Amino acid sequence: MLWTININIFKSIKLVLLFCFCFQDYFESYLAIASTVPSVLCLILNYVLVNRLSPRTRILSSLAVILVVFVVTTILVKVDMSSCTMEFFVVTLVSVAIVSGASNLFSGSVFGISGHFPMRISQALISGQAMGGTLSAVASIIDLAAAKDVTDSALAYFLTADVFILLCIITYLLLPKLEYSRHYMLAAECSSSAIINEGGGRAKVSVPPLQPILAKTWVLGLSVFYVFCVSIIVFPAVSSGIESVNKDSGSPWTTTYFTPLSSFFLYNVADFCGRQATAWLQVPGPTSRVLPALVLCRSALVPLLLFCNYQPRGHIHTVLFTHDAYPIVFICLLGLSNGYLGTLPMIYGPKVVSRDLAEATGVVMSFFLTLGLAFGSAFSVLIVHFI
């Protein structure tokens, strides 16, 4: 759970952005860009710092930055910004960018360390990310049913985030005290400061060699890239705009709960199931051509969701799937395939290289993931405007 909470919790900023009504049709896309582009830059920085700063320094500093931003945001919840929505919108996006960059510096460092642990630990970290998203979706649904004031709802979200970030810091400080984790973390610290040179000795390096990592993992990296690129093209920018075809009926299901349940909750549950399945089933293997083929097949989910009842539609007025069951099935397939096909390459990557390059490979795989999110978020803006 250390990796997951900080990646998913900033999604609660969405509640505050609801004040900016003039951006409500596109804010999911802008939010995705603000969260993914800085992440790419921070993961590049993380790779450069792998052998310059210890994992402990990178992890604790990134958590400290996240905590500061969330505390400030929590205070701003109670500040009346109704007269300057544009400024508030910009400040929110900047906050998302900072939190996302620090979160990915944190997650890249943690996933890099996990490369020294058994494969099941990497799988558990990735499954935990989906669990964090699921808990966030459940909280939003409970909030819709129970809360009466959006300001109080946002305050509760951010206070919860503050508590969880503090728990992350405390938990990480306690982690080295466990004999099991201390054994593998010591191996990570030793290999992060040295690599095998041509003469067989050990020489300190400032930046890990990239060429031998890419030679072993480029197919896995591109698979991760494309999986998450396709996912963020339609989730949440498109999926959150799909309305029930029976919305005019006035029932709570069609007017209030359809989108939170069908888009956010079901996607995250399916994503978690897909990631958890990799704990028992790891097929196809790291060198199989079936894996990239299955990844490419996910492209079909983009047009399928576009022709559901997405609203408002400015250019393409045709809705082919006129039943609420269709988007539910498509979103479940999107989440399930994202979880399974996105996790397999991530856990394979650090295991197909030498032990000395395991941590750096974990960072590289995280980079491919985040790069896919960045490209996908850019395309999601175009698609939302195109529809």
Give residue-wise pLDDT tens across range 113-134.
777 788 788 778 877 777 777 7
Q: For residue 20, what pLDDT is reported?
A: 44
Domain spanning 2-195+205-386: CATH superfamily: MFS general substrate transporter like domains (1.20.1250.20)
pLDDT band (50, 70, 90) for residue 8: very low
Least confident stretch, 252-256, 275-279, 280-284, 361-365: 252-256
Whole-number percent of the chain with pLDDT over 90: 28
pLDDT band (50, 70, 90) for residue 278: very high
Please compute the mean of the pLDDT values over residues 10-27 and round it to a whole number: 48
Give the distance from CA 106 to its chain's centroid: 12
Whole-number percent of the chain with pLDDT over 70: 86
Q: For residue 22, what pLDDT is reported?
A: 47
| Helix, coil or strand: residue 196 | strand
| Phi, psi dihedral angles at 202 (to 5 degrees) | -115, 130
Q: For residue 2, what pLDDT is reported?
A: 36
- Lookup: tokens for 145: 């049913």
Strand partners, 196: 202
Of 31, 39, 9, 233, the residue nearest 133 (C-alpha): 9
pLDDT band (50, 70, 90) for residue 387: confident
Which own/partner pairs from 288-296 qualify as long-range (CB within 8 Å, at least 24 positions apart)? 291/219, 291/220, 291/223, 291/341, 291/344, 291/345, 292/219, 292/222, 292/223, 294/337, 294/341, 295/223, 295/226, 295/227, 295/341, 296/226
Q: For residue 27, what pLDDT is reported?
A: 63
- Cα 93 to Cα 149: distance, rounded to the nearest angstrom: 23
Locate the domains of the chain by residue range: 2-195+205-386
Q: For residue 197, what pLDDT is reported?
A: 46
Q: For residue 354, what pLDDT is reported?
A: 86
Please compute the mean of the pLDDT values over residues 233-241 and round it to a whole number: 88
Pairing outcome for strands 202-203 and 195-196: antiparallel
| Phi, psi dihedral angles at 289 (to 5 degrees) | -75, -15
Q: For residue 19, what pLDDT is reported?
A: 42
Is residue 67 over pLDDT 90? yes
333-to-130, 337, 376 alpha-carbon distances in Å: 15, 6, 18
Residue bearing the bigger pLDDT, 222 or 38: 222
- Lookup: tokens for 345: 């390459």
Q: What is the pLDDT of residues 138-191, one digit of tens each?
A: 777 777 677 666 677 777 778 888 898 899 899 889 888 888 887 777 765 665
Classify residue 60 by burial, with Cβ atoms within 10 Å: 0-12, 13-18, 19+: middle
Least confident stretch, 143-157, 159-173, 284-298, 330-344: 143-157
Residue bearing the bigger pLDDT, 122 or 61: 61
Least confident stretch, 60-74, 194-208, 330-344: 194-208
Q: For residue 348, what pLDDT is reported?
A: 93
CB 126 within 8 A of CB 8: no
Q: What is the pTM of this model?
A: 0.78
Rounded mean pLDDT of the chain?
Answer: 81
